[in-house]
Amino acid sequence: MKLLVTGGAGFIGSNFIHYILSEHPNCEITNLDKLTYAGNLENLRDIENDPRYHFVIGDIADRELINNLLHGGYDTIVNFAAESHVDRSILDATPFIETNIKGTQTLLEGARQYRVGRFIQVSTDEVYGSIQNGKFTEKSPLSPNSPYAASKAAADLLCHAYWKTYQLPVIITRCSNNLGPFQFPEKLIPLAITKAWENKPIPIYGDGLNVRDWIYVADHCRALNLAIQRGKPGEIYNVAANQEKMNLELIHQLLDIMGKPRSLVSFVADRPGHDRRYALDAGKITQALGWKPFYSFEQALAATVDWYLNHEPWWRKIKSGEYAKYYDKMYSQR
């Protein structure tokens, strides 16, 4: 298996590369990553000298670079590369359009020209928008609410168009909120762990009653591997572990694990357009590909807390850099 993984220096991509190298002794992986603020080669330090792994710095929207790379012959592309943070998309949507839409189209076009055998688009439950009751299936209409979600929905539609028009064997996966090692500490769980560790207030948007459905990143990686091996071209697969939590409930659970007081919770202004609840029906991937999650939310949260507490230099380096400037800017505009 010869894979081109894009965005492999980010959270899920780096977990996925570790997973594939451990599962497939004969694989070959090229990781193409632009190394934006979210890309971190520290995430891949332990495998950087593995002869099956190669790193290329570059932009998925760079057509010449993509064509040069694909000329080398890949059987599969797994596209993780994206601007991924909703709050940043509210501050400035431009890079989301460039990478998530234009970048995906550039990759699709390269895949078409060089006849790549399989294209996995790593999408998100956010493309469906918010749901008060019940769960979204793959047939639910797209109704994205943030610029981030809209850019991911646009990419999904382009993927669909390349399948219908050119029969490019595209598979879209739409996963719920991931937690686990290597997640950039702007996202709720690593933000809360690192703040709590320093006994600093944890910002909770609005009333804290928004619901997210959480999945351990390793379970997402297993689902993606199955989609590569056995997924059907042209299909969409929802991926979720059916573990809904209100944000406040989650943070209380996290503080209890860490032995920190609940008084660290600090309610702040709500995220504009904040989706109230995400919930996915993942029955299709279970029935069609035999996938099911291995990790309970409690196991996943405990393992994630443990990882961050054992990797303090990793997150301290991030928090002391450019990230600090973004964080100040975001709160000054609320």
Residue numbers of the site for ligand DAU (CB under 6 A)? 84-86, 124-126, 176-177, 187-188, 191, 203-205, 210, 212, 247, 271, 278
Q: Report the residue number, 120 or 264, with the smaller CB distance to ligand NAD.
A: 120
User: Of ligand DAU, ligand NAD, none, which one sits near residue 38, judging by CB under 5 to 8 A according to partner kind?
Assistant: ligand NAD
Q: How far is the CB of 188 from ligand NAD (least distance, A)?
A: 10
Q: How far is the CB of 66 from ligand NAD (least distance, A)?
A: 10
Cβ neighbourhood burial of 269 (10 Å; 0-12, 13-18, 19+): exposed
Q: Report the residue number, 60 or 204, with the smaller CB distance to ligand NAD.
A: 60
Q: How far is the CB of 323 from ligand DAU (least distance, A)?
A: 12
User: Of ligand NAD, ligand DAU, none, which one sits near residue 156, judging by CB under 5 to 8 A according to partner kind?
Assistant: none
Element (H, E) at 55: strand 53-57
Sign of the torsion angle spanned by Cα atoms 88, 39, 276, 190 = negative
Nearest to 283 by CA among 247, 240, 325, 230: 240
Distance CA 222, CA 207 (A): 34
Catalytic residues: 125-126, 148
User: Of ligand DAU, ligand NAD, none, which one sits near residue 151, judging by CB under 5 to 8 A according to partner kind?
Assistant: none
Q: DSSP letter string over 266-297?
A: EEEPPPTT---B--B--HHHHHHH-------H
Distance CA 10, CA 81 (A): 8
DSSP state of 9: T
Quick count: other Cβ atoms within 10 Å of Cβ 258? Answer: 16
Residue number of the CB atom closest to ligand NAD: 10
Q: What angle do CA 28, 32, 34 make, to 5 degrees?
A: 160
What single letter denotes the amino acid at residue 94? Answer: T
Give the chain's end-to-end CA distance (angstroms, integer). 47
Residue number of the CB atom closest to ligand DAU: 124
| Region label for 115, one of left (φ > 0), alpha (ψ between -120 and 50) or beta (otherwise) | left
Q: Under the rule (CB under 6 A), what is the footprint of ligand NAD?
A: 6-7, 9-13, 32-36, 38-39, 59-61, 80-84, 99, 103, 122, 124, 152, 175, 177-178, 184
Distance CA 16, CA 19 (A): 5
Q: Report the residue number, 242 or 267, with the smaller CB distance to ligand NAD.
A: 242
Q: How far is the CB of 130 from ligand DAU (least distance, A)?
A: 10
Element (H, E) at 238: strand 236-239
Q: Report the residue number, 38 or 218, with the smaller CB distance to ligand NAD.
A: 38
Asked whether 1 and 74 are in contact (CB, 8 A), the reply is no
User: Of ligand NAD, ligand DAU, none, which one sits near residue 203, judging by CB under 5 to 8 A according to partner kind?
Assistant: ligand DAU
Q: Report the residue number, 124 or 243, with the smaller CB distance to ligand NAD.
A: 124
Q: Report the residue number, 69 or 211, with the smaller CB distance to ligand DAU.
A: 211
Q: How far is the CB of 326 from ligand DAU (least distance, A)?
A: 12
Element (H, E) at 236: strand 236-239
Q: How far is the CB of 100 from ligand NAD (least distance, A)?
A: 7
User: Of ligand DAU, ligand NAD, none, which one sits near residue 86, judging by CB under 5 to 8 A according to partner kind?
Assistant: ligand DAU
User: Of ligand NAD, ligand DAU, none, which one sits near residue 111, judging by CB under 5 to 8 A according to partner kind?
Assistant: none
